[in-house]
Structure 1
């Protein structure tokens, strides 16, 4: 039966795909500017193009842009009327919807969350007390003022300290600017001098903004101000993009000197990555303040106390501990304090102050993620209200989107949860939050971070999953890292549909870790669907086409994504303004007023065919990479594996990585226009099939210790923290025959299994197994057609080639040898194919091209739809070459009509290709719709439409908005109604080629006889 079903699937896949295989889109309503007419038009356009549904997210409020005259402020009666209408229309179109858990897209807050119910953080105030025979009592410092009027005490302590340092004199070559900021672009130093030698044991740095250079200082000391000795070279902790909630404190070896200086140079700067985000930008030093300290501190304690997503570069435990005395609730010490100087520290907790910042009428404080009742209140107050509306049956998903609310390290129940999970009382160790060294502080801080991770999963995500079930919907979620302290994979255990994100032409904002988190999380926890927010763009430039985004799409399909969400379909409330409303220029412009949105159906159909196969069965992945027991943690990008798997990567990759990481001269590049950044940021387009036939997943401790292990090898990166429980599990796997790689592996293939796919450079692949059916997806990432020999690690059945671009199937010539199958495969420029192994032969024999025939036609009649201009043309010419501004700056659809003659023979097939079209086209022959061309080879099968003698040919060509916007900006708009709120930049004044630029070609083929 299964063999029969697979055969039927191969034959009918292009005709009627399963609903779950169709892509989705995010649907944003901006600034309360919403209209029923446009809602209906939006949803109908989504339906027509082949989307399955949309995630509705209102963004920002009416008051932020009153000039848009919005009336649908979130939570008002008008807003709910629009929601009701959208649901009704969606229901009538048999489309599905998802709704975010709060207003905006980040993350889970609202006006119903009080400061006490919001995300909490530990705060403290302190004062100095001098204790001697005459002064044996002291007063507690004044309580922290709290945020938003909320504060609660936790406990207070007395800590013996050294005499405070006197105020030093500032000097050096790096000076403060008019705003009081130390600023430099060239090497230099900031000097602090004392009138007498002082012992310094710490340095506290307050950067200006998210500045990684402030964390790269070389601390030096001198007794005479001439000869300096190294004290410590500071190294930045790994850190995410939302990194300004805390400053930086580093411990220093006890050093006595009169002069201390902080030397800085851009030399040695890393090129930037998702976990060192601030290094992506031009190396400029910006520091608001530097304070030297006389007391020992826990090194980088801000990176260890759970208040911000950082991974400290130094995890050595403290060795020098001051005397610490816990005070009672009245502020009295539990035993008399000895004579000396004491720091009295009063700890409490208050709101972090983070809000769902992209919201409008539903904006408020972010809910406490560690308290079940508060999470329930948040979900019921927003998502629950949607589920009370008529036609709420269309809502099938509750979605958790972009985590942009920082971290939290306390709640009313945190101390109790800590004791329950860790087995000891946290309160006596509270000083470690403030960086005060205590015996066992490294363990306590790790336990704090681990408890945060457990609570974000066991409370926030578990509650969200339970509420989703109560509402009869599924739970979808993006990544938590690198903002909230967590294991970046564990929350996908609770999520029905994991989601990552990838960006288009936005190196500074791309999220390769997010994609790998979602893919690995799905694989580890057995989730079939891996969703992706796709083609988010920091600044669209209106030159984007389906062909442009296809290589990026295919690369992510090969990584493991199998349900795409286009970012973004922004609701344009006006029917007479185009392109119209956008997310202020962010995201791929994928909505009804995109010039080529109608023709995007060709791309959507392609995606649907791909996803239909990539949602079948289970992934075949050979290697697991352990992420370690450090907290926070997340998946590893391939560059992090080069030191452990040098043999698989090869010598060229090792050399390339050495050059990239050296970052000599700190090279910069510009992408998109106006955004300068490090040229060495990792781009996964340069890491296609980097392990030469092997794929890997990241494996977290939860998956390692509690899940199935279906991998042949486990990599345990050197230097990673591994708990005793993980060590025991690794030893158990090794005893079961799993290859454990603890030291650099230098062979070019694994000794336990050969490569899954032997492919030429630049071909990405994905392998899934559905019972006895092996499914390989192969994607050419080069801009040239290629015929190649491939070798796949299977001999199960017969291979068939399926081309998702048009649904064609072929039965290739192949041979089995040494447990592998070899065959020839031809892929067009950026082309793709599936090789599917089944029990029976399927598909047609490959075709042989008999001839290419440049079409000779009558003159072309051209009609420009948006302005009514018509003309006749022969030969074909670029629209931008016209002296008529209505054509020169035209954007949109224009129809070319002509006729041609051809001799037709039985047994031959006829394909019409467009060798140069800008940018997409739909083709009719004798009024038969033959399809849409949007990517190479820009070809359609016209065999069933063409006939002997005279034939009519109609080609509707559509370009991008680029030229019309340039014309409108120059006062030469090609038609009325051109308007957009997008902030965009383009380089120079050049227009983009547009129209049908070369005569079509007829390609004539016949089937090849199989030997």
Structure 2
């Protein structure tokens, strides 16, 4: 959002600096932007994942860790204590000694100006612990089935349904927890219906009923989304008619027997009950091992938070972060990886479902097991409603409650909203004050590049200035990685929208300094801690990041395309592959698309996931359904309250859509928006069926008209706006959306040129604040480049801001054409610059923008090199 300040700007900036709690960024304009770039504030500094290994803590080590962070320009740390295969220490989590150490940590972080985030539970995933009773843990609806031929069913025994297989079966229970998992059971319903002919079922029911959600990033074959359809094949054989279903719940006895009679015929009787999912905190320190809380119940999460972070805060004397708090200290609650599977039941689920979907789910309980009720289409619609209700309850009653709890303490909530989640990733991101993402060191693990697009999109839409990333996560890096190796990937992340690197990982060094290399997290993480040989030299790299991140936290990102994410969950958003630059085969680093054996697959098999995906000339964001409702239109552009704006809205090629969201799309088009995409055919929901489908037909007629689909691409004016559709959008489909070149052609026809182009292999991102246009441009080619860079800016003088040195100077040679500025530039290998436009000025063909270098000294003689014995050095010789 463009900020405008008047008198007293400096005082206002200082006040903003103090008051910001959730994002710890500072917005500058005018001369203060230069000052912030040259000497960035702490809010622009990078951070670390600060991992503590189960009971291995010391006050002395904490002080030295924090002091070493500050020494090299690190100002943020996420505190997590885990069990990662390292021998246990002597300080039990939440013991009095542990509490005293934590209080020391908070005090020292306040003294040194390091902002702390604390996880919402033990380990790095979820919310749970030994204080979570099994009744308030994650639950599944389970069933047992008996088929009878007699009308008299008195004495028929219905077996108690058994628990489902645990999602993570290798995580250990305590004996008491295993007993609770095995014994916990509550009856829900007993339903009888005429046994259908044949054994046809709904396929993939475990996914559709959310019994489990596996990691999309690391397990082969996991679906990106669960598709819906406007037409389902008729079931072969008979199906269960809800009207024929008889509720026998009141006839169930304690021993599992039932009494009474049924009409003559063959009957299927299903006993439904609730079991614990078996999800436990992971990988938690031993004293934090316990059940994961029910993710759909506010009472459960309230009890957990009170027993975990609430207890910690009480001991530490922390009451609330205020505008008078020092920069450092507690600032954020952090919900990290979702690694506890999913659930599909909670104690008041039937009541919640009725209220939200306006019909009773009980006749459809057999659909949990794949039984077709009513018809295949009706059953699929119910399962869609089931997942939607689960998503709403998780977002409102779990994440929403945690966010409210954090705010009561003056804290923010950050969330890593991707992978394994039973909700749509973008909707989970929208629940955070600070959405985070993660990327692995190229070649050292999983591919999670899609998470950057998800987190940055939601941050842009909501106007959240900071997008942190769990950065350079690695497996078995062997202490070999160093900042110089990471520069290319660093710039890729910055250009992708990340503006706070959180290095994974800085492991707490609890041992004396004589113990080298010290504590590690097993083979997990790049070694980013004070025992690294290059640690004291890393400040230059962190300074480069701070200057870059400072500029990239200003104003708003400029994007032209808004991709609408379809309704439904779970859903991983992926942009069209064609919207990214093709890799430079000589340099772009391939990711390992890892499965359980980390097998490397060919580039052709993974062309959309194995490169560093750099956007082409039209930048884009993705929009979840919940945020589209906040959009309006002004002068033909789609505008959000944050100030984010887009030229076109692109719909997925998706056969279903709810009437509510289609009404919103109609409103945008009538208001002047350009919408690209095909019409839906039906609603995916059973809510208000079949009237919902009639509403869809009427809305489609209003927007797309009654004519035939254009053979190529056609336009139809609707109110002040236009709908663009046609067969070419389907023929060239790419990850649900039209091919990028098709979308780019539409923008070009609207007289909107690409935001940035060049002849060389460069990456970019563009932000605007007040009168400034700020471009970040980086060389991704692996070789030196001289090229013309074309920026979508006119009548302004380009300036070069070098984040390595802090130097600012005019680029004196440039020209303009058709509203664009052409600047001759040159880049060394992996070099990057900011090109800033702020001052009015005319084109100039003066001196070269870059100096020629001459050789000062050639190092052509041997010299001695030695290695510090205190850090494992043993060799001495010549090079």
Query: Among residues 101, 110, 114, which one is paired with 2:133 in the alignment?
Result: 114
Query: Among residues 97, 104, 111, which one is paired with 2:116 in the alignment?
Result: 97
Query: Among residues 200, 220, 223, which one is paired with 1:278 in the alignment?
Result: 220
Partner of 1:23: 46
Partner of 2:669: 734
Per-residue CA distance 1:488-530 (angstroms, 9 max, x = gap) = 1223333211101111134752212222221112122222211
Please say if residues 97 and 396 of structure 1, whose CA atoms lie closer than 8 Å, have aligned partners that are also in contact.
yes
1:816 equivalent to 2:816? Answer: yes
1:325 equivalent to 2:245? Answer: yes
Equivalent residue runs for 1:662-681 within 5 Å: 675-679=598-602, 680-681=605-606
Partner of 1:420: 355
Partner of 2:289: 363
Displacement of 1:328: 3.1
CA distance in 1, matches of 2:601, 2:862: 51
Per-residue CA distance 1:311-334 (angstroms, 9 max, x = gap) = 257785564423452323333899
Equivalent residue runs for 1:303-342 within 5 Å: 311=226, 316-317=231-232, 319=235, 320-323=238-241, 324-331=244-251, 337-342=262-267
Partner of 1:151: 185
Partner of 2:875: 886
Per-residue CA distance 1:606-658 (angstroms, 9 max, x = gap) = 1100010000001111111111113222322432xx4xxxxx779x89xx9xx
Per-residue CA distance 1:877-910 (angstroms, 9 max, x = gap) = xx9xxxxx5337xxxxxxxxxxxxxxxxxxxxxx
Please say if residues 794 and 819 of structure 2, whose CA atoms lie closer than 8 Å, have aligned partners that are also in contact.
yes
Stretch deviating more after TM superposition (773-782 or 329-338): 329-338
Structure 2 counterpart SS, 1:678: coil
Query: Among residues 46, 66, 69, which one is paired with 2:69 in the alignment?
Result: 46
CA distance in 2, matches of 1:780, 1:607: 16
Please say if residues 789 and 822 of structure 1, whose CA atoms lie closer than 8 Å, have aligned partners that are also in contact.
yes
Displacement of 1:13: 3.7
CA distance in 1, matches of 2:591, 2:110: 50
**Structure 1 residues 148, 796: closer, same or farther in 2, change over 3 A?**
farther
Displacement of 1:374: 1.3
1:348 equivalent to 2:348? Answer: no
**Structure 1 residues 431, 580: closer, same or farther in 2, change over 3 A?**
same
Gaps of 5+ in 2: 10-27, 164-180, 253-257, 322-328, 633-637, 639-644, 678-725, 730-737
Displacement of 1:810: 2.4
Please say if residues 688 and 762 of structure 1, whose CA atoms lie closer than 8 Å, have aligned partners that are also in contact.
no
Partner of 1:568: 505
CA distance in 1, matches of 2:871, 2:146: 78
Displacement of 1:602: 1.0
Please say if residues 71 and 78 of structure 1, whose CA atoms lie closer than 8 Å, have aligned partners that are also in contact.
no
CA distance in 1, matches of 2:343, 2:790: 50
Displacement of 1:802: 0.8
How many residue pairs match? The answer is 729
1:450 equivalent to 2:388? Answer: yes
**Structure 1 residues 721, 138: closer, same or farther in 2, change over 3 A?**
farther
Equivalent residue runs for 1:874-913 within 5 Å: 885-887=874-876
Displacement of 1:865: 3.2
Query: Among residues 437, 441, 454, which one is paired with 2:372 in the alignment?
Result: 437
Displacement of 1:202: 5.5
Stretch deviating more after TM superposition (720-729 or 361-370): 720-729
Structure-1-length-normalised TM-score: 0.67
Partner of 1:494: 431
1:834 equivalent to 2:834? Answer: yes
Please say if residues 17 and 612 of structure 1, whose CA atoms lie closer than 8 Å, have aligned partners that are also in contact.
yes
Structure 2 counterpart SS, 1:58: strand
CA distance in 2, matches of 1:276, 1:540: 18
Please say if residues 471 and 502 of structure 2, whose CA atoms lie closer than 8 Å, have aligned partners that are also in contact.
yes
Displacement of 1:17: 0.9
Displacement of 1:369: 1.3
CA distance in 1, matches of 2:381, 2:452: 31
CA distance in 2, matches of 1:669, 1:610: 28
**Structure 1 residues 349, 45: closer, same or farther in 2, change over 3 A?**
same
Partner of 1:892: none
CA distance in 1, matches of 2:196, 2:220: 35
**Structure 1 residues 682, 25: closer, same or farther in 2, change over 3 A?**
farther
CA distance in 1, matches of 2:821, 2:423: 43
Please say if residues 375 and 460 of structure 1, whose CA atoms lie closer than 8 Å, have aligned partners that are also in contact.
yes
Please say if residues 109 and 366 of structure 1, whose CA atoms lie closer than 8 Å, have aligned partners that are also in contact.
yes
Query: Among residues 76, 83, 99, which one is paired with 1:80 in the alignment?
Result: 99
Partner of 1:703: 627
Per-residue CA distance 1:280-301 (angstroms, 9 max, x = gap) = 9xxxxxxxxxxxxxxxxxxxxx
CA distance in 2, matches of 1:423, 1:673: 43
Please say if residues 626 and 698 of structure 1, whose CA atoms lie closer than 8 Å, have aligned partners that are also in contact.
yes
Equivalent residue runs for 1:219-234 within 5 Å: none
Displacement of 1:8: 2.6
Displacement of 1:718: 1.5
Query: Among residues 470, 476, 488, which one is paired with 2:414 in the alignment?
Result: 476
Structure-2-length-normalised TM-score: 0.76
**Structure 1 residues 49, 409: closer, same or farther in 2, change over 3 A?**
same
CA distance in 2, matches of 1:509, 1:668: 8
Calculate the aligned-residue CA RMSD, in Å.
3.6
Structure 2 counterpart SS, 1:578: coil
Please say if residues 213 and 421 of structure 2, whose CA atoms lie closer than 8 Å, have aligned partners that are also in contact.
no
Query: Among residues 132, 137, 141, which one is paired with 2:158 in the alignment?
Result: 141
Displacement of 1:764: 1.3
Please say if residues 238 and 275 of structure 1, whose CA atoms lie closer than 8 Å, have aligned partners that are also in contact.
no
Structure 2 counterpart SS, 1:127: strand
Structure 1 counterpart SS, 2:622: strand
CA distance in 2, matches of 1:425, 1:868: 68
CA distance in 1, matches of 2:128, 2:29: 47
**Structure 1 residues 9, 787: closer, same or farther in 2, change over 3 A?**
farther
Displacement of 1:160: 2.5
CA distance in 1, matches of 2:140, 2:61: 44
CA distance in 2, matches of 1:200, 1:321: 10
CA distance in 2, matches of 1:53, 1:628: 35
Structure 2 counterpart SS, 1:429: helix
Q: Which has the higher contact order (CA 8 A, sep 6+)?
A: 2
**Structure 1 residues 313, 10: closer, same or farther in 2, change over 3 A?**
closer
Partner of 1:215: none
Give 1 or 2: higher helix fraction: 2
**Structure 1 residues 152, 356: closer, same or farther in 2, change over 3 A?**
same
Higher Cα Rg, which structure: 1
Structure 2 counterpart SS, 1:849: coil
Displacement of 1:335: 10
Query: Among residues 430, 440, 456, which one is paired with 1:503 in the alignment?
Result: 440
1:539 equivalent to 2:573? Answer: no
**Structure 1 residues 276, 84: closer, same or farther in 2, change over 3 A?**
closer
Give 1 or 2: higher strand fraction: 1
1:754 equivalent to 2:733? Answer: no
**Structure 1 residues 65, 50: closer, same or farther in 2, change over 3 A?**
closer
Structure 1 counterpart SS, 2:775: strand
Displacement of 1:338: 3.9
Displacement of 1:726: 2.1
CA distance in 2, matches of 1:865, 1:278: 45
Partner of 1:255: none
Partner of 2:553: 615
